Amino acid sequence: YAESDQSCKIQQVESAASGGPSDYQKNLQSMLHNQKPDEILVLRTLEMLDNIEMIELIYRNIKNGVRPQMLAFVDPSIEVKKVLTDRFAVHVTIMGLPRYVKDQHGKNVYTVNQLITQNEHDCFTEFHPEELFKKVAGLNAIQFRNAMKYVAARVMENQSPKVIYDLILNFKNPAAKKLKFPPFVFRTLAVMKRSNINCNALFA
């Protein structure tokens, strides 16, 4: 969500969250109060503001009849209060990652190369951006960043790409590894059917 396309000076506020809600609120209040007219306050995740106190804070901070400009991101799978999203004049939906983005010279570069950190890159014994893109193409930028943080928290440096891709799959489908099927084949089911055995109980 964005309120303006004017030039902005990005300010990070998530570090304040470590001090607890009250400290976080005070830090955000200070940033909004000291924000200059040509600056945009960037919030990594909109759900950080999804409580009554924070919503009141961003609504009442008006200087000279002008509200501070803010840019915030939210995962579409996470629900936030409508009163919070209504604070933002422009809503932009980002679906998935494009394969390429343009660099400063107009050349195509892999999007994943621009979104991955050096520490995450070092997790791979061999880093192939095309292969990584194929594994994460269905994720948006926020989900991709969360996936790579998930990977980096679980592996050391120089891991096989397959190990990392399996972790990404687990991140995308956390319930898949919990799904277990009974250890018999369809022929066994047919025999049980003819024997009037209750198959439903086996899948309960």
Statement: residue 175 has pLDDT above 90 = no
148 inside domain:
yes
pLDDT at 2: 41
Looking at the chain, the number of H-run helices and the number of E-run strands are 9, 4
Least confident of 36-40, 53-57, 105-109, 199-203: 199-203
Instruction: Residue 141: give the domain boundaries.
Output: 100-178
Q: What percent of the chain has pLDDT over 70?
A: 74
pLDDT at 201: 38
Q: Where in the chain does DSSP place strands (E)?
A: 41-43, 70-72, 100-102, 108-110
Mean pLDDT across the chain, nearest whole number? 77
What is the domain count for the chain? 2
Higher-confidence position of 139 and 175: 139
* Residues 81, 107 within the same domain: no
* Residues 140, 78 within the same domain: no
185 inside domain:
no
76 inside domain:
yes
Residue 139, token pair as written in the block: 């994720």
pLDDT at 22: 61
